[in-house]
Amino acid sequence: MGLRLGDTAPDFTADTTQGRIQFHDWVGDSWAILFSHPADFTPVCTTELGAVARLVPKFQERNVKVIGLSTNELKDHAAWVDDINRVNDVSLGFPIIADVDRHVSQLYDMLDSEQHDATNVVNGIPFTVRSVFVIDPKKSVRLILTYPASCGRNFDEILRAVDSLQLSDRRPVVTPADWQPGNDVIIHTKVSDAEAKQLFPEHKSLTSYLRVTSLAE
């Protein structure tokens, strides 16, 4: 059975472009985003890493560390980062794991299936798919996204999801479809009507179970 929401993110030791890390120690008291790539020098990955590099300040504002993963060696990563910086006009400053033996990819169940894409099998081990794991300071997995190798990810959406997760940790609310920070939120069903009146006196009840409110943050 693969990794599920609420599970403890597997710990591991790995070489990265910023030195050897013990993952849980590296995360520390921060949130973390671990995202994988099929291989270095691939076109979609190059655009994705550039997108993340541009968003690093926004992730830092939210106490989120980002770390990439690819299955090439560190020397390949170094040359690839040069390409990423040049193509995207960025200065990539976060670590990329060199998961040459695919140990981390297997721990996090990030491998494609041969049935899905037999061309992406090297030495009997499938390529990594484009997975994203959002991990909180308690090292709990809070969100999992998996994309096929052909589909680039929307990291603005991942940033939005982090905002939603962190908001729901602070307040007894959840976020509706297409929510953006500043929009109305939904009062959690665990909050009684009496409590809702005290906590959110201006809220509106659309149904007996759907109560919405604005939220000053």
Q: Which residues of 2-25 are buried (b: 16+ CB within 10 A; e: fewer)?
A: ebeeeeebbeeebbbbeeebebee
In the residue annotation, 151 being an active-site residue is answered as: no
Q: Which residues of 91-129 are buried (b: 16+ CB within 10 A; e: fewer)?
A: ebebbbbbbeebebbeebebbbeeeebeebeeeebbbbb
User: How far apart, in whole angstroms, are the C-alpha atoms of residue 143 and residue 90?
Assistant: 27
Q: Shortest CA distance to 69 belongs to which of 100, 91, 37?
A: 37
The residue from 27, 33, 45, 64 that is catalytic is: 45
5 Cβ neighbours under 8 A, 6+ residues apart: 141, 142, 143, 144
Residue found under tokens 């599920």: 4
* Dihedral (Cα; 171, 24, 21, 67), 10-degree rounding: -30
Q: Residue 61, exposed/middle/buried by CB under 10 A (0-12, 13-18, 19+)?
A: exposed
- Residues noted as catalytic: 45
